[in-house]
Structures are given as structure tokens and as C-alpha cells.
Structure 1
């Protein structure tokens, strides 16, 4: 008897094709195109409106959330556009996919708006009096209320009002 071991790592299937490797840009594009195809096939635009909220900035400095990144001491929004991050590559892919769709998509582009608000994250301030300790993860990808998420709701509301006219 022969023992056979199969070690699987990150295989992706699309139809009958199995990819043993899929780069992030390629995977993201495929995911969005799959979503767009589903919307174009299944949504009746006379009865349904499709909204897509864009990507929000995370503001980590010195790494990501699990590799030393932090947003210590960020208490003021960015007021000078030269300090904003470059426009994320994923937004260009999203905008391209949406532009090719048959069904209209109301795109809530919050990317630049959230980039200005580096002060809007809970960071270490989730618990009063908290101090940053080595190895402590910071939350620079979620948002505090009131603030940035409220603006998203206002943008959605304004879009609903405008699209209803």
C-alpha cells in the first residue's frame, strides 16, 4: 500500500480551470468582473439601483496592522493635498469594470475623502487612557463615529435623493 499526501496551498478555480497561483491584481479583477457579470445578468434596473462604495484609506505608517504599522498621535485631518496617499491601484480597476457594465452603478467614491481623515481612526484610543505598547496592534483601518462613516451615509443619502429625481 502506498500512502499519498497532497499538500494544498491557495488553489483557485474558475469554471473548469484551476489556477495554482493567482496574483492579487488578477484575482481582484476577476472577482470584480464576476460581480459585474452577475449584476448585468440578474438586476432589473427599473426596479433596483446598484451602489458600490469605494475603498477607504487606512493610514498605517511603518507597516501594516500586523507588522508594526501604526497611526499614533494622529489628531488632525490632512489639510494639504500633497500629503495624501497615491490613488490606490484597485480603484482604477473598479472604475474600469463599472464603466463596462450594462447596468448603471452608483459609485460612492470615498477614497480621497477618507484619505484626508487620518485622525478618524480609533487607533489605540478605543479604551480611555490606553498607551501604545510594543507588539500592540492598532486599528487604523476602521473608523470612529461621529465622523467618516457619517459622511458615507450622507453621500449615500444625497445620491439616493439625486437619483430619484
Structure 2
């Protein structure tokens, strides 16, 4: 998977170099949002997830198992190479930022592909949505960071 991602990033980088006006274009790369599916990673009980979490993760440099640090390093290296080629690009690392926010999920109250049954709704630990984010909350922070980059260039 890492090799395929590297190839995709190289193709994207080559396309940017050829098709983007270097003097007029500001590019932003936003990383992936993390998951919080294993509470034992932050000191919680085994076989639990983000459901009913109310506190952030305070462990410095915390990375959950759902985030691939090798992929993040690959993105950082690609962006460094793009900058060396003269393109104005900024990495917005929401992955690291959002890793700390295990309490910022909408739980069972998001729209599913199929509506949850009453039985599923009664078992939120088994059906909590610990991958997506709700508003207001974590995505508002992502937008504030992007806004700051845009208007402080």
C-alpha cells in the first residue's frame, strides 16, 4: 500500500509542477482524519471505542494504530520536494492534531448506509462512529487553521 501511495503522490507532484502557475497558486494538502476505535490505546478498557469519551488524549506525540506514520512521512517528503521545485504548498497536518480528540465524534447519531436497528442503537459501543467527525468541533479547528494560512500568507 505504501508503494502505491508513493506512486500516486509522485504523479500528483509531477502534475502540479507542469500544470500549476508557480507564482500565483497556493496549494494546501490536508492529511487524513484519524480513527479512535481502540480505547486501550489511550488507557481505556479493551474492546471499547470512542463512545462516551469526554476527555482529550494528553499523551505527547500520541499516534493511534489507525494512522500510518510512514504515510505521513511520505507526504511530508513529497511536499518538501514540491517546495524545492518552487511551488507554494502547505501541509495542514490534521491527523496529528485530531489524534488527541477521541471525544470529538458523533457517536451513533450519524446517517448510516442503512438506518441502525433499535437493537444496534441500544449497543452504541458496537456501533459508535469513531471515524467521522461532527460539527461543531474538530473540523471547525481544521477550517480555522486553513483560514489562518490563507489570510496570513
Higher helix fraction (1 or 2): 2
| Equivalent residue in structure 2 for 1:132, among 116, 123, 133 | 123
Count of aligned residue pairs for this structure pair? 132
**Aligned pair 1:73/2:52, yes or no?**
yes
Match of 2:81 among 92, 100, 105: 100
**1:50 aligns to what SS in structure 2?**
strand
- Is 1:61 aligned to 2:42, yes or no? no
Kept in 2: contact 1:76–1:118 (CA 8 A): yes
1:85 and 2:47 are equivalent in the alignment: no
5+ residue gaps in structure 1? 1-23, 63-67
Following TM superposition, where does structure 1 have runs of at least 4 consecutive aligned residues deviating by more than 3 angstroms? Answer: none
Report the secondary structure of 1:117's partner residue. Answer: coil
Unmatched runs of 5 consecutive residues or more in structure 2? 40-46, 112-117
Whether contact under 8 Å (2:51, 2:124) holds in the other structure is no
2:27 paired residue among 50, 65, 70: 50
Which structure has the greater CA radius of gyration? 1
- CA gap of 1:154–1:133, structure 2 versus 1, over 3 A, is closer
Distance 1:69 1:35, change over 3 A: farther
Question: What's the RMSD between the two structures over aligned residues?
Answer: 2.5
Residue 160 of structure 1: CA displacement? 0.6
Q: TM-score when scaled to structure 2? A: 0.75
> What is the DSSP-based 3-state SS (H/G/I as helix, E as strand, rest coil) of the residue aligned with 2:152?
helix
Written as runs of structure 1 = structure 2, the 5 A alignment for 1:150-165 is 150-163=140-153
C-alpha distance in structure 2 between counterparts of 1:36 and 1:52, whole Å: 12
3-state SS of paired residue (1:51): strand
Distance in 2 (alpha carbons) for counterparts of 1:94 and 1:38: 16
Report what 2:13 is aligned to: 36
Deviations 1:93-127 (A, max 9, x none): 00011111121211111122101100111122448
